[in-house]
Chains A and B, each alone.
Chain A
């Protein structure tokens, strides 16, 4: 009986695991490895099969000004969107956690953008940014600011994307801070206030340090998001003008499914994966630390 159990256990376990393992290898591990290998080959075309070309894709990537442009855009995008949306998220969480009149409505308003598809909200925001008849220009008109092609100008197109991304993400990050805040006993604040500590002082010295573990989790997720979510570009600018608002993943999409240069797209994907891995390493190191705390 015991022997039978010992043999049956592992076999059972692997049988249970098998269906998920097959699909996961096929659509996660294989494409990671396969894409890496494909980046050393040329794109196969009619009559010209794919062949090994060493680092040629990488050297043309380094020589490709669009690659550097989208990488820079993505860095600006991440560095702009992440701090603003995370600070707003903390502010939102603190407000909603306190005794705010109409708390339920406010919380719903903050969170709603999270459950709306990016495509749908981009449709709405497109109209805000439309020159002359768009809402933004109409508001500017009230202050005698001349009409502006917000999405058509290389200086403002990326900024328009960033505003939309902040609006979409802040409410989502809020709920994680809210969960953390709910873990802080309310007596702590009462005691501090009675002792004469100001609200701002209490926030800085007590609340914020307690939010730090959540902060790291949110920062990593925000970083991943800023490289992963490019849906709005399809509606608002298609990466233009002059790639001013294109991001890395959108460029990969264009190269792979617009120019059908899959080898070069695979090379670009390798860069994207390296960035995501760096974010992952940060997360794992943090998880290790958290184990020590518990």
Chain B
């Protein structure tokens, strides 16, 4: 017999779950409301309030969003390509080679999982500035390219590749690089997708390092542009800020809503080390 008390409990639980979901969705829903209505209706929630896209038009005019989008796109792409190449090579070395200093090298990689470049802003600024890369998009991405997290994930994936497949390819005369290209990389595709999604989301949203490194419209990514645009000094009203904010988050948000399962699983995979 199933406990009768649990029936009542379950209803409370469902209600709480929905209330929490509403609270969690509310800020975004509210931004959508504000963005699509004139400023007068910003906190008057009536269904007959007139809809408008003027706020988006204004936002687009006030700030160089097209440029910010382009910068973020370039930033995210070069960072991801850099990470894929560097992490693949390093992970391959760790997964399939024996070499002196392997253990200590791997421990040094692990250091970065705990102490990320995000907190090393003071010294990294000095380094980037001595390389002459201040105010460049490469300067934003460079510290993140050799990603311990990427090496770790790919190493795990490579280690699961069956030895027989590798041997078979070797017998057919494939060299180490072509084994990597033809056997390891195709089999690790789900890991690349998961890591790619996490990396793109991370760098699309990253702020502290880009705000330090950039000081011109030509290099600023969306987040930095958004912080200037949303500052009280800019004198832009909240409806327009909402519209700008929605513009900035929409690509990632739409991608998430379309590929929800993929996103959640990627973030999940990234945590289970």
A24-B146, A117-B226, A171-B24 given as contacts; is B268 within 8 A of A179 (CB)?
A: yes
Residue picked from A27, A101, A249, A266, most chain B C-beta under 10 Å: A27
- B97 CB contacts on chain A under 8 angstroms: 9-10, 12-13, 16
Q: For the complex, is B86 an interface residue (Cβ under 8 Å from A)?
A: yes
A109-B21, A124-B28, A196-B1 given as contacts; is B109 within 8 A of A24 (CB)?
A: yes
Q: In whole angstroms, what is the CA distance A128 to B34 when docked? A: 12
Contact status B205-A118, CB under 8 Å? yes
Contact status B127-A198, CB under 8 Å? no
Contact status B264-A175, CB under 8 Å? yes
Residue picked from B119, B249, B256, most chain A C-beta under 10 Å: B119
Q: Which of B108, B125, B260 contacts A256 (CB 8 A)?
A: B125
Q: For the complex, is A167 an interface residue (Cβ under 8 Å from B)?
A: yes
- Within B109-162, the residues touching A (CB, 8 Å) are 109, 111-112, 114-127, 142-143, 145-146, 148, 151
Whole-angstrom distance between the Cβ of A242 and the nearest chain B Cβ? 19
Contact status A279-B114, CB under 8 Å? yes
Contact status B122-A265, CB under 8 Å? yes
- Within B9-43, the residues touching A (CB, 8 Å) are 9-10, 13-14, 16-18, 20-25, 27-28, 30-31, 34, 42-43
- A283 CB contacts on chain B under 8 angstroms: 114
Q: In whole angstroms, what is the CA distance A125 to B24 when docked? A: 12
0/1 interface trace, chain A 50-62, chain B, CB 8 Å (1 if under):
0000000000000
- A118 CB contacts on chain B under 8 angstroms: 205, 207
Contact status B2-A234, CB under 8 Å? no
Closest to B222 in A: A117
Number of B residues, CB within 8 Å of A? 95
Q: For the complex, is A75 an interface residue (Cβ under 8 Å from B)?
A: no
Q: Which of B34, B89, B122, B260 contacts A266 (CB 8 A)?
A: B122
Closest to B266 in A: A175
Q: Which of B6, B14, B206, B252 contacts A115 (CB 8 A)?
A: B252
Q: For the complex, is A257 an interface residue (Cβ under 8 Å from B)?
A: yes
Number of A residues, CB within 8 Å of B? 100
- Within A116-132, the residues touching B (CB, 8 Å) are 116-128
Closest to B98 in A: A9
- Within A232-277, the residues touching B (CB, 8 Å) are 234-235, 249, 252-253, 256-257, 262, 265-266, 269, 272-273, 276-277
- A116 CB contacts on chain B under 8 angstroms: 28, 205, 249, 252-253
A112-B24, A269-B119 given as contacts; is B230 within 8 A of A179 (CB)?
A: no
Q: For the complex, is A31 an interface residue (Cβ under 8 Å from B)?
A: yes
Q: In whole angstroms, what is the CA distance A158 to B205 when docked? A: 23
Q: In whole angstroms, what is the CA distance A126 to B245 when docked? A: 12
Contact status B20-A126, CB under 8 Å? no
Q: Which residues of B contact A (CB under 8 A)?
A: 1-3, 5-6, 9-10, 13-14, 16-18, 20-25, 27-28, 30-31, 34, 42-43, 85-87, 89-90, 92-94, 97-100, 102, 105, 108-109, 111-112, 114-127, 142-143, 145-146, 148, 151, 176, 201, 204-208, 211-212, 222-223, 226-227, 230-231, 238, 241-242, 245, 248-249, 252-253, 256-257, 260, 263-264, 267-268, 271-272
List 20 other contacts, CB 8 Å, given A116-B28, A235-B231: A13-B93, A17-B94, A21-B146, A23-B86, A23-B146, A34-B126, A110-B24, A112-B256, A117-B207, A120-B245, A123-B226, A126-B230, A127-B238, A133-B42, A135-B30, A193-B3, A194-B1, A228-B116, A269-B122, A272-B119
A-B contact pairs, 7 of them (CB 8 A): A16-B92, A27-B117, A30-B123, A109-B25, A116-B253, A123-B241, A227-B119
Q: Which residues of A contact B (CB under 8 A)?
A: 9-10, 12-14, 16-17, 19-24, 26-32, 34-35, 38, 88, 91-92, 95-96, 98, 100-102, 104-128, 133, 135, 138, 167, 170-172, 175-176, 178-179, 193-194, 196-200, 217, 221, 224, 227-228, 230-231, 234-235, 249, 252-253, 256-257, 262, 265-266, 269, 272-273, 276-277, 279-280, 283
- Ranked nearest first, the 7 interchain pairs of A and B with the lowest CB-CB distance are A31-B123, A117-B205, A13-B97, A23-B146, A280-B114, A10-B99, A95-B17
